[in-house]
């Protein structure tokens, strides 16, 4: 039977295993953040793409007004579409086309 002293010494004798565990946790957290970001960009779709395009144009010294207006238009379209009731029937009709 292991004593507490043996257990503590065993965990101290293999620090690379603990380091590997920390790295694995870091990779898992990074992957979850990436998946959440992909889901958010997919969900917000063209509104997010237009906003990113406007920011990149502004950073390059060009005007981003056109892209900002496009983002506002897409957001308004999404708002209107969000008011409609949706069911799997609409999905089936769209998928059949």
State pLDDT tens for residues 7-41.
556 555 565 566 678 888 999 999 999 998 887 77
Please report whether residue 35 resides in a domain: yes
∠11-5-25 over CA atoms, to 5°? 20
- 14: in domain: no
* Cβ atoms of residues 57 and 64 within 8 Å: yes
Q: Report if residue 3 sits inside a domain.
A: no
**CA dihedral sign, ordered 73, 79, 84, 86:** positive
Above pLDDT 90, what percent of the chain?
Answer: 11
In a domain, 15, yes or no: no
**For the chain, what is the domain count?**
1
Residue 35: predicted pLDDT: 92
Q: Is 73 part of a structural domain of the chain?
A: yes
pLDDT, residue 6, reads: 61
- Whether 91 is covered by a domain: the verdict is no
* Containing structural domain, residue 59: 30-82
Question: Looking at residue 30, what is its pLDDT?
Answer: 95
What's residue 15's pLDDT?
Answer: 58
């Amino acid at each position: 039977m292991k004593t507490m002293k043996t257990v503590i010494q065993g965990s101290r004798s293999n620090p690379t295993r603990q380091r590997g565990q920390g790295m694995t946790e870091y990779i898992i957290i990074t992957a979850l953040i990436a998946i959440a970001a992909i889901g958010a960009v997919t969900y917000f779709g063209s509104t997010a793409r237009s906003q990113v395009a406007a920011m990149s144009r502004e950073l390059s010294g060009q005007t981003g007004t056109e892209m900002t207006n496009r983002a506002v238009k897409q957001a308004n379209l999404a708002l209107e579409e969000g008011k409609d009731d949706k069911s799997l029937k609409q999905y089936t009709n769209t998928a059949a086309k």
